[in-house]
Structure 1
Amino acid sequence: MLGECEETLRGTVSSEVVRICPEDFQGITPKLAVKAGDSVKAGSPLFYEKNQPSMLFASPVSGVVTTIERGEKRRIRYIEVKADATTEYLDYGIKKPSDLSAEEVKQSILDAGIWFLIRQRPYDVVAAPGKTPRDIFVTGFDTAPLAPNYDFILQGQEADLQAGFDALLKLTAGKVYLSISPKSSNKGLRDAKNVVITEFDGPHPAGNVGVQINHLKPVNRGETVWTLNALDVAIIGRLFNKGIVDLTRTVALAGSEVKQTGYWKMVIGTQLKQLFQNNVTEGISLRYISGNPLTGVKIDADGVLRAGHSQVTVIPEGDDVHEALGWASLSPRRYSAGCTYPRLKKAYRLDARLLGGRRAIIVSNEYDKVFPMDIYPEQLIKAIIAFNI
């Protein structure tokens, strides 16, 4: 896919207003901890989980809460904070995870409002603090289209990574599994201590943590495991090494419609319009995505970096494309997963069109050819559509 990110750190992006969207955190019911006009520091709670009040969600910046936008049934859509020129952090104290008990490590992460970095399987929701996972799985690379290079992002963060791993080790009675690419050269990943390191090679979804769990130690009925990516492990380690909540991410800007790709530092919720200004193709409709083209979230040109994302992608919308025979046209310029015509070994300029619609699923074994797990994918998809899971 055209638009690979150039491995160059371009600078830092900051915005006057930062917007946090509770819907980014699956499986929670948010309750406000602030009101419009309140002053907050970076690390101060903005909201909490209704059924687990100890699970706080931290502000990434210091400033004043300006807007609390609600939608249908008064559901909280987003919280806006007008950021200070200089960020003031709430001090949680420097701690060494290896010297703390499991409960102290857990409480430190909860109090700091970054528990949302830990996900739970099954269902990929925010982890339940009251449960003890069988194991914890960390993915140290990403194979999604135009994905950022974790080795590049994690340069110089070896100490934070190890502190994060030490904290995770306290949270499970089992093991912490770290999956890396054979091409990985980052010492913080390759030389991580007290974790089980496994190399995964191959195309996407080799970097998907669910695939890695399936090959390492599948989840059986009644079992719970937790998952993270290595970038979030470093954020947890930063909490213990520096005593502050620093939600700064190094974000890749990629896509065929970006003039100058590269990496920028920013916090979650940062407005991205200055990143796109004079840096994207003009004259056509564009699809702006927080995340990767497969699983990212569609945003506006003045949208924000959503929680959990370290990639922003810009591709053509495709609504201005008119082709003879439409999806059935045969052209070597088009990508074909099924080799309908000779496929060239090149990067393609793909757009956001689905090129299809709702139809009956015919069991043709097409999914089986690429599915990385030893299960029946078509039957699983039918069960999901019928809510029979």
Structure 2
Amino acid sequence: MNYKISKGLNLSLEGEITNHILPINKSSTNKVAILGRDYHGIKPTMFVSEGEEVSQGDKLFEDKKNPGFNFLSPVNGKILEINRGDRRAFLSLVIEKSNEENTYEIDKDFEINSKNVANFLITSGCWNLFRTRPFSKVPEVNSTPKNIFISLIDSNPLAVNPEIIVKENFEAFNLGLKYLSVIPEKHIHLSQDSSSDLDLKDLEKLKIHKFSGIHPYGLVGTQINKISPVSLINQAWTIGYQEVITIGKILLSGYLSNEKYISLSGPQVFSPEILLTEYGSSISELTAGKIIEGDNRVISGSVLCGHSSEGAETYLSNFSNQISVIRESNKKDREFMNWIRPEIKKHSSLRMFFTSFLKNYKFNLSSSINGGFRAIVPVGIYEDVFPMNLMITQLLKAIVTEDTELAQNLGILELDEEDLAICTYSCPSKYDYGLILRSVLDKIEKDG
């Protein structure tokens, strides 16, 4: 099936990667971390304490809300920090790596069926690589999805083409797909770019879809909406293409694998490049000496929906495939009535500036929101950039007013924060819809 996404927005920034050759040597860091923000609503029961030595594969903690699944140590080392925020919310667990070789073995010789594969995913610590739709949480142990969705497209600004990485790890990716195909009740839906030439293994439950268009055509949420929209009854899981590769590498070697390819890019990066590193790597170490000095915003993930790398969360998100670096906004970025000036360097979703007529123009944007907060004004901008078959302006109003019943009727359960990032960027009212969305989803889940 072919789908063309015509509603959206391609944001072209300076600092793109021009050399798409994958690195051979790993960019290792002295510290790695597990971030609480990667696992919404997690309530960890800690099995370790600060200063304690751990080996790769040791149990670090269990989620009280999802008993039976443990988070495992990705490396040998020492627990450096266990950071908590307001109301003791879990922020991060930081491990200082030792020089010992990681040799935690996993049993990879078993009959391929749903029960055995699920047990393998739990014992190898890979169960947390999945996220549910609705709610975007780690699936409950012993649960089964209707479908699993995987996207081989990354349409985020400054992102690397996933197929470059998949081709380099083709055997592992195919093996991961083979084992995952026994998990869902119905299908694994895999989305590729319409120009893709990947010849994937023919599996009974595998369905391949072709997508083209503009961002967010690469987001799995957009693809789910077009293929098989989710609900409380029709639940699905999602998993990233690199996570499928990780599972395949473990099955090939019998040892835990925590390797991950990421892009380091953006206007403030000297030489944008692809790095081979590890899940949860220290971003400050990865970017040392590689970014322009000054006030920068270093982001784990896309400029549209990543998190700012600071404090206890200066680490790579498990679900981020890029590090983006832009200028931090300052008073100089605030200009009186800048929206009516004939600007030649600024970007607007409403095509208000001269740059709207310049093809292939690359922007050097800062973190400035270029304006102040105000009421939602229905000017049609959301309908222009949001591709899902939802009444988006009405839905956003329901989310902001926390009208959970109306929001459910309008399709909020299909959404994740990244799906609304394009609305946040384009919003004349300057709302952070992803943040509000999470609060409303939590309320819906709590109220049943």
Q: TM tier, shorter chain? A: over 0.9
Q: Deviations over 1:208-261 (max 9, x none)?
A: 111101111122442211111211111122222222221110111010110111
Q: Secondary structure at the match of 2:159?
A: coil
- RMSD value over aligned CA atoms? 2.1
* Distance in 2 of aligned mates of 1:312 and 1:300: 13
* Equivalent residue, structure 2, for 1:304: 315
The offset of 1:150, in angstroms, is 0.8
The counterpart of 1:267, out of the listed 247, 254, 278, is: 278
Is this contact kept in 1: 2:34–2:93, CA < 8 A?
A: yes
* Distance in 2 of aligned mates of 1:179 and 1:89: 34
* Equivalent residue, structure 2, for 1:12: 26
Mean alpha-carbon deviation: is it higher for 378-387 or for 296-305? 296-305
> Matches of residues 77-156 of structure 1 in structure 2 within 5 Å?
77-95=91-109, 99-156=111-168
Q: Deviations over 1:321-374 (max 9, x none)?
A: 353533443313221222224421111111111113321112222211222122
The counterpart of 2:43, out of the listed 29, 52, 59, is: 29
* Equivalent residue, structure 2, for 1:219: 230
The offset of 1:73, in angstroms, is 3.2
Q: Secondary structure at the match of 2:168?
A: coil
| 1:318 and 2:329 correspond | yes
Which of the two has greater helix per residue? 2
The counterpart of 1:178, out of the listed 184, 190, 199, is: 190
Residues 42/333 of structure 1: CA separation in 2 closer, same or farther (3 Å cut): same
| 1:286 and 2:296 correspond | yes
Residues 182/207 of structure 1: CA separation in 2 closer, same or farther (3 Å cut): same
The offset of 1:71, in angstroms, is 3.0
Is this contact kept in 2: 1:42–1:62, CA < 8 A?
A: yes
* Equivalent residue, structure 2, for 1:374: 389
| 1:52 and 2:66 correspond | yes
The counterpart of 1:165, out of the listed 160, 177, 188, is: 177
Q: Deviations over 1:21-46 (max 9, x none)?
A: 22321232211122234332323322
Q: Secondary structure at the match of 1:199?
A: strand
* Equivalent residue, structure 2, for 1:360: 375
Q: Secondary structure at the match of 2:69?
A: strand
Q: Deviations over 1:240-285 (max 9, x none)?
A: 2222221110111010110111111111222223332332122x32
Mean alpha-carbon deviation: is it higher for 147-156 or for 194-203? 147-156
| 1:42 and 2:56 correspond | yes
Q: Secondary structure at the match of 1:369?
A: helix
| 1:248 and 2:242 correspond | no
Residues 200/305 of structure 1: CA separation in 2 closer, same or farther (3 Å cut): same
Q: Secondary structure at the match of 2:239?
A: strand
Is this contact kept in 1: 2:299–2:323, CA < 8 A?
A: yes
Residues 338/71 of structure 1: CA separation in 2 closer, same or farther (3 Å cut): closer
- Structure 2 letter corresponding to 1:240: L
- Structure 1 letter corresponding to 2:60: L
Query: For this pair of structures, how many residues does the alignment match?
Result: 384
Residues 169/293 of structure 1: CA separation in 2 closer, same or farther (3 Å cut): same
Is this contact kept in 2: 1:42–1:246, CA < 8 A?
A: no
Is this contact kept in 1: 2:269–2:290, CA < 8 A?
A: yes
Is this contact kept in 1: 2:349–2:381, CA < 8 A?
A: no
- Structure 2 letter corresponding to 1:45: K
Is this contact kept in 2: 1:40–1:62, CA < 8 A?
A: yes
- Structure 1 letter corresponding to 2:364: R
The offset of 1:13, in angstroms, is 1.7
* Equivalent residue, structure 1, for 2:403: 388
Residues 262/185 of structure 1: CA separation in 2 closer, same or farther (3 Å cut): farther
The offset of 1:206, in angstroms, is 0.2
- Structure 2 letter corresponding to 1:85: N
Mean alpha-carbon deviation: is it higher for 131-140 or for 82-91? 82-91
Q: Secondary structure at the match of 2:242?
A: helix
Is this contact kept in 2: 1:181–1:201, CA < 8 A?
A: yes
The counterpart of 1:333, out of the listed 335, 342, 345, is: 345
Q: Deviations over 1:53-77 (max 9, x none)?
A: 2111122211222322333333332
- Structure 2 letter corresponding to 1:238: K
% identical equivalent positions: 28
Is this contact kept in 1: 2:72–2:125, CA < 8 A?
A: yes
The offset of 1:192, in angstroms, is 5.5
Q: Which runs of 5+ in 1 are unaligned?
A: none
* Equivalent residue, structure 2, for 1:351: 366
- Structure 1 letter corresponding to 2:21: T
* Equivalent residue, structure 2, for 1:62: 76
- Structure 1 letter corresponding to 2:132: Q
Q: Which runs of 5+ in 2 are unaligned?
A: 1-12, 405-448
The offset of 1:191, in angstroms, is 4.6
Is this contact kept in 1: 2:260–2:276, CA < 8 A?
A: yes
* Distance in 2 of aligned mates of 1:341 and 1:62: 53
